[in-house]
Structure 1
Amino acid sequence: MEFDESFWDERYRQHGQHGSVWSGEPNAQLVAEAADLTPGSALDVGAGEGADAAWLARRGWRVTAVDISSVALARAAAAVQDEPETAARITWQHQDLTVSPPPAGTFDLVSAQFLHLPAPLRDGVYGRLAASVAPGGTLLIVGHHPSDLDTSVRRPSTPGLLFTAEEIAASLDPEEWEIMTCASRPRSASDSDGAPVTVQDAVLRARRRA
């Protein structure tokens, strides 16, 4: 299966008839890792319906929220239209980062939450995301840990799509980056039958040396 623009547009259209695709709450690991950061400029990669971007903007961040789906971005913008101060801090940007990278050395925070790509493509995209972090800024990458495949929760089975925090950390030059968090962090979830299950989030937070 190819998770391209048409796939995501169709998924958001289908769920738009019955509600949101996601919970409407910011991702737990973003909240855990970014709550203590001084607000500045942020790049929210794979912004979806905008919960992370809105959370950051409410805390004073100037957010560039990027997604491959224009349907998702329209829904995200609508979700904050009654919060003019929040909306004013967010730029919604329709962009495919696999072909159009963000500007280098620009953002105080680059956050990619559950952006899963085939390994060769992921390495290139994540490398360009790291390059877009300004000196002294933070790179935060969170994903589904491969151990989730051993649970009853539904996960893509494409080889190499899931990753560990250690894999991402190993791709960063230690002379340029200080690893702040490199962990597999448990989180409560439900499988497709509604049964409770504990999943693991791969969490990598790194600070680019000034």
Structure 2
Amino acid sequence: MLAAVRLATVLVLAGFALFIAFDHARRYPQDLPWTPLDLTAPIGWATGGKLLALGKHPGQCRALLTAAGIVATPLPDFDAGPGCRVTGAVRVMNVGLPLDHSLVMTCPLAAAMTVWTRHVVIPAVRERGLTATGLADLGSLNCRRIAGTARLSEHAHANAVDIAAIRIGRDHPLSVARDFGSEGPRGATLAALHAGACRLFGTVLGPNYNRAHRDHFHLDMAAWNACR
């Protein structure tokens, strides 16, 4: 009799746990790795992994950008220099906010930029009562090695972008060089942008990493994870 009661209790608890799991999955599909990615949906636990996986699905990646209203011109694969092969790239001028330049970047990077812009940058700036109007970029594609090493940078494959500031209408831009690490709302906002990027990109480097990054955030879609 006691064994039967225990078994019934276990079954009830298991059923309740399954109900909670299914209810969570229904309400928060972005948290599950097997649900389709939607660039307009809120960021979930699985969003970063889904963005990285887009490198294996270029057609799906471009379709997601189109569905999110991003104009991305697909480019044929090409060599940007010795060892600097660029595959699955698109050209974009807007990733939810206008960029300073027309940039060549891998499609997964453009997708991650779109999610970061819409779900991290714009809301964080809005919390200060301001409106983000653009991203001050320092470029993406650059056939070069990581300083002090023999390894090619992710920039060499158009898989990285550097962001120096967030433009805010006629107000002074939120500048990484000037405002990151400062006390007050500007520093807090940039800290939130950095933390939000770490949920989406393979590598995020900023002023805390080294002097070479004192004036920008380096964002890339490398397969490993680093947030500094």
Smaller-chain TM-score bracket: under 0.3
TM-score, scaled to structure 1: 0.27
TM-score, scaled to structure 2: 0.26
Q: Which has the higher strand share?
A: 1
**Higher relative contact order structure (alpha carbons within 8 Å, sequence separation ≥ 6):** 1
Q: Which has the higher helix share?
A: 2
